[in-house]
Amino acid sequence: MNTRWLPKAAFCALALSAGFTCGAESSATPQALSAGAVLNRLNSTYRSMRSYRDTAELTRKTGDKDQSATVTLAAQRPNRYLLEVNGDKLDTVVVSDGSTLIALRPDRKAYTKGKAPLLLMGSDILRGVDVPSPGARLLSILLGGNLRNQDIMLAKDLAVATVTGPQSVGDKIVYVLSFRYDSDYDAKVYVSESDFLIRRVTLLRDDKAIITENHNDIEVDKFIPAGTFVRALPVGANMVTSLPPLQKAEIASSGPIAPDFSADGRNGETVHLSDFKGKVVIVDFWATWCVPCQKSMPHVERVWREVKDKDVVVLGVCVWDDKDAYEQWLPANKSRYTFTFAFDPAGKDSENSIAGRLYGVKGIPATFVIDKEGRIAANIVGFRDGDTRIEEALKKLGVETSSLR
């Protein structure tokens, strides 16, 4: 069973009861483990460590250039920690000496300062810090015992990963965990079969590797000098409330033009996507029978109420549905949802629908964020509790929401 949203009411209800995900079964070989078994082994491996240290090599694509960086990660229980990234426009330090926690952007001479957590276990030590290393973020979640922490979105995503393997990658036998990393990237995490340590993390966009991070120089339960967890502030550094963000990886040209379409408005008028040119448009494809769609709609409404005065339009297009069901749904939900609705004239014909024919949608809910020039800035599939992918896409277009401030 693939992890995706399908246009079937019964399957959507099953997906809802399972937390809006469907895991893929691993290949039936004697050595194969399920995703849950791999995650459990991974979780117990890192939770049991007294200390951890490694130096990783990171490469990422930014436009037509490749950037490289060295990532040093160290942790000593109960509460000493170091993340140090050295690379062009990527320099970042997060360090706890056991009493003080400092996050530093050395090249910007900006830092934050607070009390260190009493324990690494149970703490989200990188919370609020824009970290260029996906491996360090994942390892910090595991070292903090936070794989099951539903308040950390990345932990939730990792916890529902699918798995392939074991398979040969280089000189190691690995399991490969695959999951959605954030609104921009899919992730593949390579876990060595012999010791259940993370050896590689790759972030992909449209199946193209953008960030690759190799963790080969790993030491577990070895002595780490106390000086490892001390870093001096640069001369002239200023304390700030939050660190300045990093340059985004692969700053690409704008996305493809969103195909124009016509749909039936709720008052009998014809609604065209092009009617909203010059505004940011959130197009939400949904159906009355789709349980995850109904689960996601209150979130879409909350976003709409925040951004409706910021040149943003929300257009909820009912697809793959019966028009009578849609026309009964509208008045029953009129007081709950205040954004613009329209009905796809193709009705239940998914092949010729706006979503399927023009936008390539295979499952709903599917949400497209379209910029003011009419180009697709984000394509968001499915919904999960605590989802902020719409807000993240809007933020990249300069539209702030309270959940990401």
| pLDDT (mean) for 339-346 | 96
Looking at residue 31, its pLDDT comes to 60
3-class SS letters over the chain: CCCCCCCCHHHHHHHHHCCCCCCCCCCCCCCCCCHHHHHHHHHHHHHCCCEEEEEEEEEEEECCEEEEEEEEEEEECCCEEEEEEEECCCCEEEEECCCEEEEEEHHHCEEEEEECCCCCCCCCCCCCCCCCCHHHHHHHHHHCCCCCCCCCHHHHHHHCCEEEEEEEECCEEEEEEEEECCCCCEEEEEEECCCCCEEEEEEEECCEEEEEEEEEEEEECCCCCHHHHCCCCCCCCEECCCCCCCCCCCCCCCCCECCCCEEEECCCCEEEHHHHCCCEEEEEEECCCCHHHHHHHHHHHHHHHHHCCCCEEEEEEECCCCHHHHHHHHHHCCCCCCCEEEECCCCCCHHHCHHHHHHCCCCCCEEEEECCCCEEEEEEECCCCCCCHHHHHHHHCCCCCHHHC
Cα 66 → chain centroid? 22
CA–CA separation, 89 and 107 (whole Å)? 8
Place of tokens 């459990």: 40
Looking at residue 247, its pLDDT comes to 65
Looking at residue 40, its pLDDT comes to 95
Is residue 368 within 8 Å of 282, Cβ to Cβ? yes
Q: Which tens digit of pLDDT belongs to each residue from 386-400? A: 889 999 999 888 898
Q: Which tens digit of pLDDT belongs to each residue from 185-232? A: 899 999 999 999 999 999 998 788 999 999 989 999 999 999 999 999
Burial group, residue 239, by CB count within 10 angstroms (0-12, 13-18, 19+): exposed
Q: Which tens digit of pLDDT belongs to each residue from 143-198? A: 999 998 988 889 989 988 999 988 888 888 999 999 998 877 899 999 999 999 99
Question: Is the C-alpha dihedral spanning 99, 100, 101, 102 positive or negative?
Answer: negative
Is residue 90 within 8 Å of 101, Cβ to Cβ? no
Query: Has residue 12 got a pLDDT over 70?
Result: no
Position 108 confidence tier, pLDDT thresholds 50, 70, 90: confident
* Ranges 243-252, 311-320, 338-347, 374-383: which has the least confidence: 243-252
Mean model confidence pLDDT for the chain: 87
Between 30 and 161, where is the model more confident? Answer: 161
CA–CA separation, 128 and 397 (whole Å)? 20
Between 45 and 405, where is the model more confident? Answer: 45
Query: Has residue 252 got a pLDDT over 50?
Result: no
Q: Which tens digit of pLDDT belongs to each residue from 303-334? A: 999 999 999 999 999 999 999 999 999 999 99
Looking at residue 248, its pLDDT comes to 61
Query: Has residue 47 got a pLDDT over 70?
Result: yes
Is residue 51 within 8 Å of 77, Cβ to Cβ? yes
